[in-house]
Structure 1
Amino acid sequence: MPPGSRERRPRVLYLAYYFPPSRASGVFRARATANHFAEAGWDVTVYTAPREFFETYLENACDPSLEETVDPRVNVVRPPMSYYAWEKDIRQFSALRRNFPTVAASLYKLLQSKIFPEHYLTWIPGVLSGAVKAHFKEKFDLIIATGNPFVSFAAAQALGRLLRIPYAVDYRDSWTFNQFTEELKFKEDSKAFDWEAKVLRGASEIVFVNDGMRQWHIDRYPYAAERMTVVPNGWEPELLGEGEYHPSAEDRPLRFGYLGTVTSYLPLEELFDGWRLARNHPLLRDAELNIHGHLGFFPADVAPLMERLPLEENIGVNYHGAFSKTEGRDLYAQTDALVFCVPGARYVTSGKVFEYMASGKPIVSVHRPDIAAAEVLEDYPLWFRGSKLTAEDVAASFIAAAEAARRVDRSQYTLAVKHAHTYTRAATLGPWEHRMRKLVEGSR
């Protein structure tokens, strides 16, 4: 290499439909991935949804503070798309849909059944045309796609084959089965299975958030097993801070906190039944259970979820509404113990568990004992859980966590945070970035 010249940075196209300012749960992994690759010296271009999708069509689905945390070196592109499945304003309908609504609906259903069974299908044309033009101006070396939605996987497969560059896919969620109910999402003859098989045959690496998810896909697609890996979720010190040890304040009641989106899948009945029982204990008689976060992801979710919160029972349960990611550190600091309430079983990890551990606070588990998150929590010294998801076991966990909150010392806090630091985003994403770099170097 001539003196003074610099080696060209590897260039990655990252397909992440949900990306800041979206507040969808998967956004945090996508944001962290883009930032980590940029910090590691990659030229990162993110293709994501149009801003108006989050601001107009998904009411209350934005967190503007998140956009400020995206590395300024990341180039964010928002290809246009059609909003057929979300558009309710007849003035915005196409001429075909206004004049021949039945025909338009039939054509739309045909596209779903014959081409790709996802409403986000209309994002693909803009992604493909924009990416091809960008590639011929300055070559991409790698494509990474994260799902859901899984049109990003289809676009990665198409671009990888067309541009003859490697692509990797990152399963934040499962595509063809429901990780909460452990049932298939589609009939066996659905195009979704054909697409998933096609994507996995061509992918250079296939990433999952936990080993349970990886194993399910190995069983269904054994030919891709050697290319399947796990990249756990993690937490961001730059957002949460490093935290400080503060003993529980003896002059006030204990504060338990749930921080995160409340969804219909959560075992709320077991949570609140256990809380009612636990309140009979002297340490919890005046304790608070504070819920911070959105109720669901869509406006229609709010009312039914609010009905499931026992706010009028005078048992210390309070709902404080949504909070921004950057407000999280203060909420953790104000809380004595955290409630890890999640749905599902062996395929569910949740991104929230990593932040909980980073707080160094006692954690009460309210979930089935066999979920994937249990593997992450196993070595956390302030974890309290039952052998079953029952009100009695939940109550016992609340009581044990309350006792721990009153006596936890600096050494226990330090051990807890030390375990959490094995799951920073740098720790979890670092090995993956190294593999992608070697992949690119080997394909040049």
Structure 2
Amino acid sequence: MKKVIFVTYVFPPMAAVGSQRVVNFCRFLPNHGWQPVVLTVKGGHNTSWDNSLLKKIPDTIVYRTNTLEPYFWLSSLRKSNTEAFSKNKTTAEQSEPVSKLSLLKRIKQFLLLFLRVPDEIIFWLPFAVLKGIQVVKEEQISVIISTSPPVTSHICASLIARFTKIPHIVDFRDLWTLNHTYDQRHYPPFFRKYDKWWENLVLNRASEIVTASPAFTKLLQKHLSGKITIKTITNGFDYTDVDLNRIFRSASGKKMNILYAGSIYSDFNPEFFLEALSEWIQDKQIDPHTVAVDFYGNCGFDYSEWLKQLKLDTLVSFHGFIPRDQLLKRMETADYLLLLLGFKDEYKSVIPAKLFDYLATGIRILAIAPNGITVELIKKYNAGSWQCSPDKTAMKSLIDRLYTCAINGTTEEKKYRYIKEIDRSYLAGELANILDQHAADNIENQRKL
């Protein structure tokens, strides 16, 4: 069986959403003739951990290296307590202007910036490259795949590929300098050029690029002007985790249950939705005991005082991170699954990984998102409703319609829905086809030498 090595910083027990993509490729690639090998870190930095993910891939060969992470050490010296939410200070707020900072703070800010371009784990590079070269030779690897974020994984893999003369495939879960949040990093011109230099170095040497969104693929094709093949393999859903024949029902009866799964950050926040919900409850004199909204995932703000102001503190709950198997069970009790992308045009190309979980459950989706690829997929699979503009009157009207359906019981019966295009096994087969082609091309090139 041919072998492929994944160079990835994000890997279990890290429970970051990017881990799911690598784990599921590793789980299903052997069915398509490829033995996965993983090069990752010992420990690493992350906010959530889930050891159960490793149980899905007992036969995957994993190599872990040491690393240095001075950025996380230096940034940890700042206050790390969860900050109380205020409408006057949102998660997308810009930092204090440099001109108003003291000399010591300016030096610290420069060091933090220096240590996070191209990203915070750049000092993993020597450890990963040296170990990667060794592993490629010992395991007789045929193809290298690197996945990001963080993008240092691509730099490491590119250098390994250069020294070992094997194909390198770049996998973008999110883009690099074309990332939809790139401008929010506020890099000075020099650091932007430095970051771009690394990106060009990697992409000019890559054998092929894979992205997690067709919109990302179009952006890169335009940016690179056809210099390299770019294909799309989206995220998906592992149907071996569920019973497709089992019917499940809402647990609460005459109540509208809305659930959000995933982290809350930047513009992907619940503020617009919760304000509209509060106004709708007051306008319609809705019994608050007939509505429940639950958020599962990491959140950088404490919304408790703000929820009291909105009179939502008895019906909205933030539960924090829970392991994926538990989360799926909680999702089954919902009438609607909430998706938050904000309304900015730059998010039109984004497909949140949670969308595929939502689609697979068969539960109706309530999406707050710009009119882009995510809304297109919801329309394609007739999977729910969406709000594409910050119009609270329209939002309240939509909530009212969904509430009526939930209270009347028309959303109660649910069943997992099989969609071939999001089946992780099928998607692994698509990746295997790419691997087969590059492995064959490399053998042919070696013969010609």
Change (3 A) 1:151 1:394: same
Q: Which runs of 5+ in 2 are unaligned?
A: 78-103, 444-449
Residue identity opposite 2:65 in structure 1 = P
Aligned match of 1:361: 363
Aligned match of 1:435: 434
Residue identity opposite 2:72 in structure 1 = W
Residue pairs, 1:99-110, within 5 angstroms: none
Residue pairs, 1:277-356, within 5 angstroms: 277-279=279-281, 280=283, 286-296=289-299, 301-303=300-302, 309=307, 313-314=312-313, 316-343=315-342, 345-356=347-358
Given the alignment, which residue of 61, 64, 67 partners 2:51? Answer: 64
Query: Which stretch shifts more, 287-296 or 195-204?
Result: 287-296
Change (3 A) 1:21 1:404: same
Inter-partner Cα distance in structure 2 for 1:356 and 1:286: 25
Aligned match of 1:397: 398
How does the TM-score come out when normalised to structure 2?
0.80
- The answer to whether the 8 Å contact 2:375/2:386 transfers is no
TM-fit CA distance, 1:439: 1.8
Change (3 A) 1:259 1:288: farther
Residue identity opposite 2:338 in structure 1 = V
Query: Which stretch shifts more, 174-183 or 314-323?
Result: 174-183
Inter-partner Cα distance in structure 2 for 1:322 and 1:106: 30
Residue identity opposite 2:29 in structure 1 = F
Residue identity opposite 1:85 in structure 2 = Y
* Secondary structure, counterpart of 1:48 in structure 2: strand
Aligned match of 1:179: 180
- The answer to whether the 8 Å contact 1:363/1:383 transfers is yes
Aligned match of 2:39: 47
TM-fit CA distance, 1:283: 7.8
Query: Which stretch shifts more, 341-350 or 325-334?
Result: 341-350
Change (3 A) 1:119 1:259: closer
Aligned match of 1:79: 65
Q: Is 1:230 aligned to 2:232, yes or no?
A: yes
Inter-partner Cα distance in structure 2 for 1:253 and 1:143: 50
Per-residue CA distance 1:3-28 (angstroms, 9 max, x = gap): xxxxxx11111011001111222121
TM-fit CA distance, 1:212: 1.9
How does the TM-score come out when normalised to structure 1?
0.81
Q: Is 1:33 aligned to 2:19, yes or no?
A: no
* Secondary structure, counterpart of 1:417 in structure 2: coil
Q: Is 1:220 aligned to 2:223, yes or no?
A: yes
Change (3 A) 1:231 1:251: closer
Q: Which runs of 5+ in 1 are unaligned?
A: 1-8, 91-100
TM-fit CA distance, 1:39: 3.7
Query: Which stretch shifts more, 14-23 or 371-380?
Result: 371-380
Question: CA-atom RMSD, angstroms?
Answer: 3.2
- The answer to whether the 8 Å contact 2:294/2:316 transfers is yes
**Alignment length (residue pairs):** 406
Change (3 A) 1:235 1:122: same
Residue identity opposite 1:44 in structure 2 = P
Per-residue CA distance 1:81-110 (angstroms, 9 max, x = gap): 1122222699xxxxxxxxxx9xx9899789
Query: Which stretch shifts more, 160-169 or 264-273?
Result: 264-273
Residue identity opposite 1:82 in structure 2 = L
Per-residue CA distance 1:120-157 (angstroms, 9 max, x = gap): 11111111111212223232100000011111111121
- The answer to whether the 8 Å contact 1:295/1:306 transfers is no
Residue identity opposite 2:278 in structure 1 = R
TM-fit CA distance, 1:395: 2.2
Change (3 A) 1:426 1:38: same
Residue identity opposite 1:38 in structure 2 = P
Residue identity opposite 1:339 in structure 2 = L
- The answer to whether the 8 Å contact 1:240/1:329 transfers is no
* Secondary structure, counterpart of 1:339 in structure 2: strand
* Secondary structure, counterpart of 1:286 in structure 2: helix
Aligned match of 1:14: 6
Change (3 A) 1:387 1:342: closer
- The answer to whether the 8 Å contact 2:250/2:412 transfers is no
Residue identity opposite 1:342 in structure 2 = L
TM-fit CA distance, 1:401: 2.9
Inter-partner Cα distance in structure 1 for 2:52 and 2:395: 35
Change (3 A) 1:291 1:157: same
- The answer to whether the 8 Å contact 1:176/1:184 transfers is no
- The answer to whether the 8 Å contact 1:349/1:372 transfers is yes
Percent identity, please: 19
Inter-partner Cα distance in structure 2 for 1:283 and 1:354: 32
Q: Is 1:152 aligned to 2:138, yes or no?
A: no
TM-fit CA distance, 1:239: 3.1
Inter-partner Cα distance in structure 1 for 2:70 and 2:275: 43
- The answer to whether the 8 Å contact 1:180/1:348 transfers is no
Inter-partner Cα distance in structure 2 for 1:87 and 1:192: 22
- The answer to whether the 8 Å contact 2:213/2:232 transfers is yes
TM-fit CA distance, 1:214: 1.8
TM-fit CA distance, 1:282: 8.0
Aligned match of 1:211: 214
- The answer to whether the 8 Å contact 1:337/1:362 transfers is yes
Aligned match of 1:200: 203
Inter-partner Cα distance in structure 2 for 1:408 and 1:427: 30
Change (3 A) 1:437 1:306: farther
- The answer to whether the 8 Å contact 2:250/2:333 transfers is no
